Amino acid sequence: MHNNMSHFSLKSLFGAVFLFFAFSFGLKAQDGAKLFKQNCAVCHAVTDQKLTGPGLAGIFDRAPKGDWLKNWILNNEKLIKSGDAYANKIYNENGKAAMTVFEGQLTDKDVDAILAYVKNPPADNAAAAGAPAPGAEVEKEEVKGGIDPLYLLLGAIAVLAIIIGSLRSVRHSLQNSYNRKEGKEETEELSFFDEVKQWITGNRRLVGVFVIIIVFGGMKSCWDACYDLGVYYDWETQKGYKPEQPIKFSHKLHAGDNEIACQYCHNSVEKSRHAGIPSVNICMNCHKGIQKGPQYGEKEIAKIYEASGFDPKTGNYTNPQNPIKWIKVHTLPDHVYFNHKQHVVVGKQECATCHGDLKKMTVAEQKTPLTMKWCIECHRKTEVAMEGNAYYDRMHKALKEKYKGQYDVKFTVDKIGGLECAKCHY
């Protein structure tokens, strides 16, 4: 009876501990406030305040019922193209501004957590949960208010430890009562660790299953975290990031309407790993003569003059210079190596592949996630630009001869080492 009681109690206790930890960490992963701040607060507030997008107060009363909101968040473009009446109404009311597509970045559980947070935001935190005014610095701290999940977890562990200790004492007392009744000797209570060791010895298969699940679960979590590295690396490095610059510069006007080549301003893109930020002298090449713009008049061009020290009245650079503090939109982690020359010159890639169609953007915005997953998928589907490239001429000729008549081979970047870790990390 002792063994049966011991095994039953310890199995129950360890099962409860295992389920508790799994449930606790699952809750922590679905932190709606954190997910909202990371993905939504740039454009939306949980109040009725309109930022880039509409305020979310009352959204559950306005939007269609069921899974409509979830479908809208995951892939609003798909919903609009399907002809959904409310989706097109929202799209048109907000100037046909494209909302970020989160399909592939957020899971259904993530969206559920965000919607639960929007539905019941902390009363003292509702206003603060929205994004700051354009141009203001975004806080990177956790959303304040409520109890930190870590403290809840530690408190629950302490309570669980007390319960386990009490149950062990009760079980030992009952066992000795039974032994006295049966005329058997009383037993000494084993220490917790000795009892755990005894339980593990008697349940090796079950322990083995738990270990395998934990190891493979941990490996999968690490892989997923690395695969999507960049999504939550920093507030400024996420898809949809669109900061207000110190000078309102329209890529649509310059690169789109006026057809100025990207390389004219970013003149190191074909010579260096960096595309480079245009110097104010490049701006002055045109704006020494063009002193009034079609959208902002003289206001924004005057900022260029102030930066360069140019006096438009005399036509001379006689004033103090004030460097322009541009805000970088596309930022990679420090441990990632990316070479613009390699991609633009050798790979013959267009700027829009990574940066989106800037010729249609008034304000530069990060259109792609720039995660490791995104880069790997690009390397797997992009064919190596061999034709007309002297570097690959001999290789291309040899490969065509080697595989002639066997099968049609597409030589994508991953086939020539495009997935080697050391190519991008050092």
Q: Which domains does the chain have, with CATH numbers?
A: 2-26+149-227 (no CATH), 31-119 (1.10.760.10), 251-367 (no CATH)
Summarised one tens digit per residue, pLDDT across range 395-405 is 777 777 777 77
> What three-state secondary structure class fits 249?
coil
What pLDDT was estimated at residue 139? Answer: 40
Which position has the higher pLDDT, 390 or 4?
Answer: 390
The secondary structure of 329-393 as a DSSP string is SS---TTB---HHIIIIIS---THHHH--GGG-SS----S---HHHHHHHHHHPBP--TT-HHHH
Amino acid (one-letter) located at 143: V
Count, in order, helices (H) and strands (E) of the chain. 19, 0
Place of tokens 């669980």: 160
What pLDDT was estimated at residue 132? Answer: 40
Burial of residue 32 (number of CB atoms within 10 Å: 0-12, 13-18, 19+)? buried
User: What is the rounded distance in angstroms from the CA atom of residue 399 to the CA atom of residue 403?
Assistant: 6
Structure tokens at 244: 């207000």
Q: Which of 191-205, 301-315, 400-414 has the lowest mean pLDDT?
A: 400-414
Amino acid (one-letter) located at 379: H
Q: What b-and-e string marks burial along 50-82, b requiring 16 or more CB atoms within 10 Å of the CB?
A: ebebbebbebeeeeeeeeebebbbbbbeebbee
What's the full length of the chain, in residues?
426
What pLDDT was estimated at residue 343? Answer: 93
Report which DSSP code applies to 316. B
Of the candidates 41, 81, 38, 85, which has an alpha carbon nearest to the alpha carbon of residue 63?
85
What pLDDT was estimated at residue 253? Answer: 92
Which position has the higher pLDDT, 25 or 37?
Answer: 37
Summarised one tens digit per residue, pLDDT across range 123-164 is 654 444 444 433 333 343 444 445 667 788 888 888 888 888
Q: C-alpha 307: how far from its chain's center?
A: 35
Of the candidates 194, 145, 147, which has an alpha carbon nearest to the alpha carbon of residue 172?
194
The secondary structure of 76-136 as a DSSP string is HHHHHHTT-HHHHHHHHHTTTPPPPP-BTTB-HHHHHHHHHHHHS--TTTTTTTSPPSTTS
What pLDDT was estimated at residue 320? Answer: 94
Alpha-carbon separation of residue 357 from 69, 249, 343, 377 (angstroms): 28, 15, 17, 20
Alpha-carbon separation of residue 207 from 7, 61, 201, 213, 216 (angstroms): 13, 49, 9, 10, 14
User: What is the rounded distance in angstroms from the CA atom of residue 366 to the CA atom of residue 240?
Assistant: 5
| Overall average pLDDT of the 333-341 stretch | 90
% of the chain residues with pLDDT over 90: 23
Q: Check whether 115 has a pLDDT greater than 50.
A: yes
Q: Check whether 50 has a pLDDT greater than 80.
A: no
Which position has the higher pLDDT, 200 or 405?
Answer: 200
User: What is the rounded distance in angstroms from the CA atom of residue 208 to the CA atom of residue 189?
Assistant: 27
Q: Check whether 122 has a pLDDT greater than 60.
A: yes
DSSP alpha helices (H): ranges in 228-261? 251
Place of tokens 């701040």: 37
| Overall average pLDDT of the 297-304 stretch | 93
User: What is the rounded distance in angstroms from the CA atom of residue 157 to the CA atom of residue 307?
Assistant: 59
What pLDDT was estimated at residue 426? Answer: 75
Between vectors from CA 301 to CA 297 and to CA 305, what angle results, nearest 5°?
145
User: What is the rounded distance in angstroms from the CA atom of residue 330 to the CA atom of residue 236?
Assistant: 8
Say whether pTM exceeds 0.75: no
User: What is the rounded distance in angstroms from the CA atom of residue 137 to the CA atom of residue 133?
Assistant: 9
User: What is the rounded distance in angstroms from the CA atom of residue 264 to the CA atom of residue 250?
Assistant: 15
Summarised one tens digit per residue, pLDDT across range 26-35 is 444 347 888 8
> What three-state secondary structure class fits 10?
helix
